[in-house]
Amino acid sequence: MNAPTGPDLRDIHLPPAPSWWPPAPGWWLLAILLVVAVGFGVTMLLRQWRERHWRRRVVAELDRIAATHAAQPDGVRLAAEVSQLLRRAALLIEPGAVALRGEAWLAFLDRRIDEGPDEKSAARFQSDTGRALIDAAYRRVDDASQSSIDAPALLDLARRWLTRALPRGRSRV
């Protein structure tokens, strides 16, 4: 006779390994933070790229104006094109600046170029060079002062204004 061996027992077995899906709540939180950080980084890089691209276009436009003036010297056209370029760029700083005329426009340009901490207030645009922006179009063609427009100084003044006055890092482009 066979001796009773007892109940038929099986050996201990482990449960299956946990699945990788769905992840724990901490991993979900980490994934959301990662997506937000990447989105923020891409947005900032895109904004910087747009600003640099816009600045290059503005400088290229000023260079085109200078080249046109070098090929066909015309002080009235130069002053008009530089003034138009400065007005378009002023839209980024203060949208109401486009409506300024005469001395108010020149004062606005001077205020914006002198915003550095160590700068003294100087009337750069309100001088003879900058004044060409508002009165060159009204000079007679045979006027001797028509040829007195200092084109290199006006272009240099416009270039300095564009590099110093336009907002950096907070552009509305």
pLDDT in tens, 138-158: 776 665 545 568 899 999 999
Which string of b and e fits 59-76 if b means at least 16 CB within 10 Å?
A: eebbeebbeebeeeebbe
Which tens digits make up the pLDDT trace of 37-74? 999 999 999 999 998 898 889 999 999 999 999 999 88
DSSP label of 66: H
% of the chain beyond a pLDDT of 90: 38
Overall pTM surpassing 0.75 (yes/no): no
* Domain ranges (residues) in the chain: 29-165
Q: What pLDDT, on a 0 to 100 scale, did the predictor assign at position 112?
A: 80
* pLDDT in the model for residue 172: 46
